[in-house]
Amino acid sequence: MKADSKNYVLIVGAGDLVMPAYKIAREELGLGVIALDYNPKAPGMLYADKSLLVSTKDVQAAVDAAKEISKKCKLKGVFTCGADVEVTVAAIAEALSLPGIPVEVARRCNNKLLMHKYLDDKGFKEKANYLVANNLTEAYNAAKLVQFPCVLKPIGNCASRGIQRIEKPEEVEAAYKLAVNYNEFYGGKILVEECLEGTKHTVEMIVWNNQWHLLSIIDTHYISPRWPCETGLNTTLLSKELQERSFQFSKRLADLVGINFGAHKVDINIVPDGKIKLIELTARLSGGFHCQYASPLAFGSHDIRAALKLAIGQPLDFNDIQHRYEKGSAVKAVFPDQGRITSISGVEEAKKSPGVEEIFIWKKIGDQVGPFHNSADRPAFVIAKGETTDEAIANAKRGAALIKIQTKSNGD
- Using one digit for the tens of pLDDT, what is the confidence trace for 238-266? 999 999 999 999 999 999 999 999 999 99
Does residue 375 sit in helix, strand or coil?
Answer: helix
Would you state the CATH architecture of domain 199-326? Answer: 2-Layer Sandwich (3.30)
Alpha-helical runs (H) found in 5-80 = 19-23, 43-47, 59-70
Cβ atoms within 10 Å, residue 215: 26
Q: Is 145 helix (H, G, I), strand (E, B) or coil?
A: helix
Report the CATH fold assignment for 329-408.
D-amino Acid Aminotransferase; Chain A, domain 1 (3.30.470)
Widest Cα–Cα separation across the chain: 68
Name the 3-class secondary structure at 230: strand
Residue type at 332? K
3-state helix, strand, coil in the chain (%, to 5): 35, 30, 35
Beta carbons within 8 Å of 337's beta carbon, 6+ residues apart: 370, 407, 409
CB atoms inside a 10 Å sphere around CB 177? 15
Domain boundaries, the chain: 7-98, 129-194, 199-326, 329-408
What does pTM read for this prediction?
0.94
Distance CA(129)–CA(111), nearest Å, equals 16
Q: Give the pLDDT confidence of 193-216 residue by residue, as tens digits.
A: 999 999 999 999 999 999 999 999
Measured CA to CA, the distance from residue 334 to residue 346 in angstroms comes to 12
**Sheet strands side by side (includes 339-345):** 368-369, 339-345, 404-408
* Class in CATH terms, 7-98: alpha beta
Domain 129-194 belongs to what topology? Dna Ligase; domain 1 (3.30.1490)
Q: What is the pLDDT of residue 158?
A: 64
State the Cα angle at 90 between 87 and 91, rounded to 5°.
85
| DSSP helix/strand/coil, 142 | helix
Is there a common fold for 199-326 and 329-408? yes
Task: Report which residue type is found at 167.
Answer: E
pLDDT in tens, the chain (412 residues): 455 789 999 999 999 999 999 999 999 999 999 999 999 999 999 999 999 999 999 999 999 999 999 999 999 999 999 888 999 999 999 999 999 999 999 999 999 999 999 999 999 999 999 999 999 999 999 999 999 999 999 997 665 888 999 999 999 999 999 999 987 766 789 999 999 999 999 999 999 999 999 999 999 999 988 998 899 999 999 999 999 999 999 999 999 999 999 999 999 999 988 999 999 999 999 988 999 999 999 999 999 999 999 999 999 999 999 999 999 999 999 999 999 999 999 999 999 999 999 999 999 999 999 999 988 899 999 999 999 999 999 999 999 999 999 999 876 5
Report strand pairing: 262-270 vs 276-282: antiparallel
Helix (H, G, I), strand (E, B) or coil at 58: coil
Q: Distance between CA atoms of 126 and 123, rounded to whole angstroms? A: 9
